[in-house]
């Protein structure tokens, strides 16, 4: 699978150079099945061949990462926490979710937003998805951009550097990258399985919430008097 994709990626980079790398990375953010683990090492190969520079490829990839993250952030911010809460109120019973569950997850993200974005940008698959809760919570756009750029710079530099150093030995690295992706997918599937068990199958699974459960605890539930401001000030929208 990666071999066919690698041929296409190589063709795009050969024809468009820096622009091709930036466009591929933007696309990879929006469509994770196009993995950066394929795109970025080939950018390093091109730089090693002298058809581009390492710094130029790193800059193009990082710009592409930030722009792609902006797009996901903007979509999520446009949907907004109010629409997410309305969806949970209306359809949450099918997923055994209540507004209080949403409030807890939002509070958790608010407390750890900076670390989530910074570290998340260095984890396959998660690196794209982390922009979505940041947009929903309308994390400070400047802070989101800064830590997205830092995390992306580290991730892009590592993979472009690997491609620059390894070059013809790509086929020795390809199985390792595939294995790493399978591990991440397995972790996600385990989490989904845990969620299904605890919410639907376990004898202790809570019942489907009734109308009274959508009100929450007015004394201790800050999300029902909802604020999009996290404790760290991650509230400003992209404007």
What CA–CA distance (Å, rounded) separates 94 from 100?
15
Predicted local distance difference test score (pLDDT) of residue 201: 62
Q: Count CB neighbours of 176 within 10 A.
A: 10
What CA–CA distance (Å, rounded) separates 98 from 101?
5
Predicted local distance difference test score (pLDDT) of residue 204: 66
Predicted local distance difference test score (pLDDT) of residue 238: 46
Predicted local distance difference test score (pLDDT) of residue 219: 43
| 100: Cα within 13 Å, side-chain hemisphere | 14
- pLDDT beneath 70: ranges in the chain: 1-6, 32-34, 92, 95-97, 167-178, 180-185, 187-188, 191, 194-202, 204-239
Q: What is the DSSP letter of 228?
A: S
Residue 235, domain member (yes or no): no
Residue 37, domain member (yes or no): yes
Residue 180, domain member (yes or no): yes
| pLDDT tens-digit readout, 24-63 | 999 888 876 667 777 888 888 888 888 889 999 999 999 9
Residue 122, domain member (yes or no): yes
Phi and psi at residue 16, in whole multiples of 5°? -110, -10
Residue 47, domain member (yes or no): yes
Q: What is the CA radius of gyration of the chain?
A: 20
List % helix, strand, coil for the chain (3-state, nearest 5).
Answer: 75, 0, 25
Given a contact cutoff of 8 angstroms between Cβ atoms, the answer to whether 120 and 151 are in contact is: yes
Tokens of 125: 């698959």
Element (H, E) at 55: helix 54-91
Tokens of 145: 């951009």
The structural domain count of the chain equals 1
Predicted local distance difference test score (pLDDT) of residue 211: 45
Q: At what angle do helices 36-48 and 18-30 cross, to 10 degrees?
A: 170
Residue 234, domain member (yes or no): no
Residue 238, domain member (yes or no): no
Structural domain of 17: 2-214
Predicted local distance difference test score (pLDDT) of residue 218: 43
């Amino acid at each position: 699978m990666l071999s066919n994709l690698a041929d296409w990626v190589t063709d795009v980079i050969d024809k468009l150079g820096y622009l091709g790398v930036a466009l591929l990375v933007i696309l990879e953010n929006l469509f994770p099945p196009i993995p950066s683990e394929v795109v970025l090492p080939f950018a390093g190969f091109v730089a090693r061949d002298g058809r581009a520079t390492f710094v130029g490829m790193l800059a193009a990839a990082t710009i592409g990462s930030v722009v792609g993250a902006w797009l996901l952030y903007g979509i999520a911010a446009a949907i907004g926490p109010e629409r997410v809460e309305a969806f949970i109120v209306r359809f949450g019973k099918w997923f055994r979710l209540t507004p209080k569950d949403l409030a807890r997850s939002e509070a958790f993200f608010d407390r750890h937003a900076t670390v989530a974005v910074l570290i998340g940008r260095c984890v396959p698959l998660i690196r794209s998805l982390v922009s979505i809760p940041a947009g929903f919570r309308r994390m400070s756009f400047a802070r989101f951009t800064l830590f997205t750029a830092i995390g992306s710079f580290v991730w892009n530099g590592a993979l472009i550097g690997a491609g620059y150093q390894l070059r013809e030995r790509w086929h020795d690295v390809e199985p390792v990258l595939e294995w790493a992706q399978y591990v991440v997918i397995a972790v996600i599937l385990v989490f989904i399985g845990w969620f299904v068990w605890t919410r639907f199958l376990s004898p202790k699974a809570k019942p489907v919430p009734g109308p009274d459960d959508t009100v929450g605890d007015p004394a201790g539930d800050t999300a029902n008097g909802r604020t999009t401001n996290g404790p760290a000030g991650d509230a400003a929208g992209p404007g």
